[in-house]
Amino acid sequence: MTWVVVVDSGGGNVGSVRYALERLGARSILSADPATIASADRVILPGVGAAAPAMARLRERGLVDAIRRLQQPLLGICLGMQLLYESSEEGEVECLGLLAGRITRLPSGPGVRVPHMGWNLLQKRAPRDRGDALLAGLGERDQAYFVHSYAAPVTQDTLASARYGVDFTAVAGRGNCYGAQFHPERSAAVGSRLLANFLALEA
């Protein structure tokens, strides 16, 4: 059975993430202890809220360096994915720097209201590292559920993008580090498949 630690970063979606993992047969705990996090088979960094206070909580709990040192597969979800990047325009904060790029606010416009809330089409991009394994089984018309006002640009780390006024990264990956801007725990079969693929990744 895969041992997953969900990082206790103060996010409000922790319970639903753990329940989604339980449905897939994974054992998970919530922890802010660096040693416990380091011992996991898989690590998930969830997040709901704003980047600056979320990074402040990680620093207060001594988790910034602990997360940066991880060698096992790491998945950031929603705000947790944004924290994997170098910096965020939201609060002008330095983030974890595991993925290249800066998080910026989605532009609003006619028919484009921010925050972006709802289902949106995932567009696969060229896989990088083991990105093809993370997206295995996802089709060209699959959609996921998003709730966010800020997003990552499309870069060489983008495994799948979505479009809401502009193209943005929906799924990212580099080395052992992955991110999903959408909420897999709220994205029905698509989200379940992505989480199952993450659990099955080679360490």
What domains sit in the chain, N to C, each tagged with a CATH number?
Answer: 3-200 (3.40.50.880)
**33 pLDDT more than 70:** yes
**pLDDT score at 111:** 84
Q: In sequence order, what are the residues at sequence separation of 6 or more whose Cβ sits closer than 8 angstroms to the Cβ of residue 134?
A: 159, 171, 173, 178, 194, 197, 198, 201
**pLDDT score at 48:** 81
**195 pLDDT more than 60:** yes
Rounded CA-CA distance 74/3 in Å is 12
Q: What would the mean pLDDT of 167-179 be, rounded to a whole number?
A: 96
Q: What is the pLDDT of residues 141-165, one digit of tens each?
A: 999 999 999 999 999 999 999 999 9
Q: In sequence order, what are the residues at sequence separation of 6 or more whose Cβ sits closer than 8 angstroms to the Cβ of residue 97?
A: 68, 85, 86
Rounded CA-CA distance 183/191 in Å is 7
- The larger pLDDT score, comparing residue 167 to residue 13, is at 167
**203 pLDDT more than 60:** yes
**pLDDT score at 13:** 72
The percent of residues in the chain predicted with pLDDT above 70, rounded, is 96
Structure tokens at 58: 């990680």
Confidence of residue 110 (pLDDT cuts 50, 70, 90): confident
**131 pLDDT more than 60:** no
Q: What is the pLDDT of residues 45-78, one digit of tens each?
A: 998 889 999 999 999 999 999 999 999 999 999 9
Rounded CA-CA distance 12/71 in Å is 26
Of 134, 28, 149, the C-alpha closest to 79 is: 149
Name which of 4-13, 79-88, 144-153, 192-201 the model is least confident about: 4-13
**109 pLDDT more than 80:** yes
Structure tokens at 97: 């720097």
The percent of residues in the chain predicted with pLDDT above 90, rounded, is 85
**pLDDT score at 47:** 84
Confidence of residue 14 (pLDDT cuts 50, 70, 90): confident
Q: Which residues are catalytic?
A: 78, 183, 185
